[in-house]
Amino acid sequence: MEGRLRKLLVDPGIAVSANGAPSSRPDLFEFVVSLSEKHRAERALSLIDQEVARLQKSPISDKDFQRALNQEKLDMYGSIGSNSSLANMLGEYLVLSGDYLLGFKMLSAFEKLTPADLQKAAKQHLNKKQRTVVVIRPAKRGGKKS
Amino acid sequence: MKQLVLILILSVGEFIWAGPKLLYEEDPTLLTTTIEIVVQSGSSEDPTTKTGIANTIAELMLRGTQSKDRATFQSTLERMGGSLGGAASHDTIEFSGQVIKENTDAFLDLVTEFFTKPAFNEKEFKSLMQENIAATQHIKNVNTRLGGLALRREVFAGTPLERPTQGTLKTLKAIQLKDLKERYKTSFHKGNLLFAVASPFKRSQIEKKLEAIWNVLPDGKATPSPLISLKIPTEPTLIVVNKPHTSSGSVLMGQGGIVAQEPDRYDLYLGNFSFGGEPLVSRLFNVVRGALGWTYAIGSTYQAMGSLSKQKGLFMVYTTPSIEFTTKSLFKILNMWDSYLEGGLKKDEIDLAQDSMVNSYPFGFDSANKRLGWKVMSELYDVPILSPAEYESKVRSIGNDELVKRLKKHHTPRGWIISIVADAKVIQKQLDEEQKSIPAEKRLKIAKVLRPEQIIE
């Protein structure tokens, strides 16, 4: 998929994969990047910071918004294609919120969002004060970190 | 008589129909349309110096068409709520995609465009190769992949299957854009093509759209992929991929597996369920992880090379023990294998495997996409799709005597190629320690030590 992170990090050869999404821990939003050889985590982090700043500064285009909305739909429709995955989704929302239909309600709510809402959320939640950065580096021979 | 006439008419209909070969699952409750396009030509047809051609075609074809550059193609696809992926296996190049149902027509138009008018753009080719080379270098960080590739090098030495479908650093660097264009010309024809669709719409509606692809492709005869013999030793052959200072080892043990059409596959699957196939209840899990606590992941499979096909695959046992228990786990597994091969399973193990396999079988058909998957498998590899009743009758008829016979027919006690990804010095020390009571000539020895770089070069 051609998300912004991919264009920013994978296409130029800095990373082999890059994605950002809410994690299974509902209070976290995670960016995960696997770097290509000889590329530094600091460079990737700086590019992600620039991209987040861009999201906070100006709203995404209507086209990008439509893209995101339809991809959410595809994701949900695709994930309820079998009885077990449908039951899984209903059960998960029931346990988390008491409303087994919340997933569908969220999808309807997405349709009422605007690019400005996303900009506001980016400003509110994606700030450096409340983030943790974890870097895993390969050890050099002899056990020293590179 | 009426029945006979009807059958004759249907047969004539199939015979004179010259449109796309389409497997179809219609389900009005679906919210998406799924498509798979299978080109029956995979990496086993890549020249050995250029392994990766088939896979690169699959990826490059989704990076722009003759009238849409990559960014335009992707944003068109994503805005309509669609996704597309492409990858090769040893015998196929497969494209699969999904779209929200309201945009099915527009999606199929886009599929037609990329499939019949790919850009094969030079700039995109270079960028893709750069990404694929980086991804190949990244394999050095994934111990299970390194172990699997080390096994593959031995079992398929000197053949097109020696290297991974995605290619290695050398073979990727040797691939040129003209190789891809040439392969597209020779392999993308009607004889090699199979469509599979699951959709809420009528078959005729989809068929009409797919004719746009079918009509512009050249005629051609189906070319079966070459079948390659496995090189399996008579005595265990141990290869170590040296990774100093690792805290866990990755052990993979392979011997000859089966083809998709193998009549004994039900017996072997049943046996493997209780030997190592099913986590939590299998012998390997219960003993090596549960009782001894030496490892985290452990299991065994007949699908070590992906889904079964006409190419004989590998039967593999895999585990990721703590480094200090690496060779202990290996010898324990060999020991358990001997006893399984000689005695098969106990009655309660057979009962459990039968109940579980029979009761879980219908879940393999509980969605349109799963049913479509079965149809594709059946069509590609001449495998019958059994009804739950037929499957139950087959599985319930298996007894331990038959199982042991089948095990001895397909397997050997010592014909293993074993790869361990760990610190070679530590492994050597452990081997010495574990085998000190065994005469030197009978000990398991390290046949080869490889560096991770050698596996991907």
List the single residue in B with minimal CA-CA distance to A86.
B367
pLDDT at residue number A38: 82
CB atoms A36 and B99 under 8 Å: no
Q: Which residues of A touch B369 (CB under 8 A)?
A: 81-82
pLDDT band at B11 (very low <50, low <70, confident <90, very high): very low
Q: Which residues of B touch A16 (CB under 8 A)?
A: 131, 134-135, 138
Determine how many CB atoms are found less than 10 A away from the CB of residue A135. 12
Pick from B117, B118, B87, B96: which is nearest to B32 by CA? B96
CB pairs under 8 A between A and B: 74
In B293-422, alpha helices (H):
326-343, 347-360, 368-381, 388-396, 400-410
Q: Name which of A34, A70, A82 is nearest B80 (Cβ-Cβ).
A: A70
Q: pLDDT tens digits for B372-418?
A: 999 999 999 999 999 999 999 999 999 999 999 999 999 999 999 99
Supply the ipTM of this predicted assembly: 0.80
Backbone angles phi, psi at B445, to 5 degrees: -115, 155
- Average pLDDT, rounded, for chain A: 86
Give residue A108's Cα distance to chain centre: 20
CB atoms B369 and A81 under 8 Å: yes
Q: Would you call A81 exposed, middle or buried from its count of C-beta atoms within 10 A (0-12, 13-18, 19+)?
A: buried
CB atoms B134 and A13 under 8 Å: yes
Q: pLDDT tens digits for A36-75?
A: 888 899 999 999 999 999 989 999 898 889 998 999 899 8
pLDDT band at A146 (very low <50, low <70, confident <90, very high): very low
Contacts of residue A41, Cβ cutoff 8 Å, sequence gap at least 6:
A33, A35, A135, A137
Q: Which residues of B touch A143 (CB under 8 A)?
A: 245
| DSSP for residue B366 | S
Tell me the nearest-neighbour CA distance from B111 into chain A, angstroms: 16
Residue B12, pLDDT above cutoff 60: no
CB atoms A2 and B127 under 8 Å: no
Question: Minimum mean pLDDT among A14-23, B51-60, B252-261, B291-300: which range?
Answer: A14-23
Q: Which residues of B touch A1 (CB under 8 A)?
A: 74, 78, 83
B interface test, pick of A6, A14, A36 with most B CB neighbours within 10 Å: A36
Q: pLDDT tens digits for B38-92?
A: 999 999 999 999 999 999 999 999 999 999 999 999 999 999 999 999 999 999 9
pLDDT at residue number B14: 37
CB atoms A16 and B135 under 8 Å: yes
Q: Which residues of A touch B98 (CB under 8 A)?
A: 74, 78
List the single residue in B with minimal CA-CA distance to A38.
B134
Both tokens of B426, joined, read 């530590």
Count, residues in chain B: 457
Tell me the nearest-neighbour CA distance from A112 into chain B, angstroms: 17
pLDDT at residue number A141: 61
Tell me the nearest-neighbour CA distance from B13 into chain A, angstroms: 32
pLDDT at residue number A142: 57
Q: Name which of B78, B135, B138 is nearest A67 (Cβ-Cβ).
A: B78
pLDDT at residue number A144: 52
Tell me the nearest-neighbour CA distance from B9 into chain A, angstroms: 35
Look at residue A25 and give its three-state secondary structure: coil
Query: The pTM is what?
Result: 0.87
CB atoms B32 and A77 under 8 Å: yes
pLDDT band at B5 (very low <50, low <70, confident <90, very high): very low
CA neighbours within 13 Å on the CB side: how many for B6? Answer: 3
Tell me the nearest-neighbour CA distance from B70 into chain A, angstroms: 9
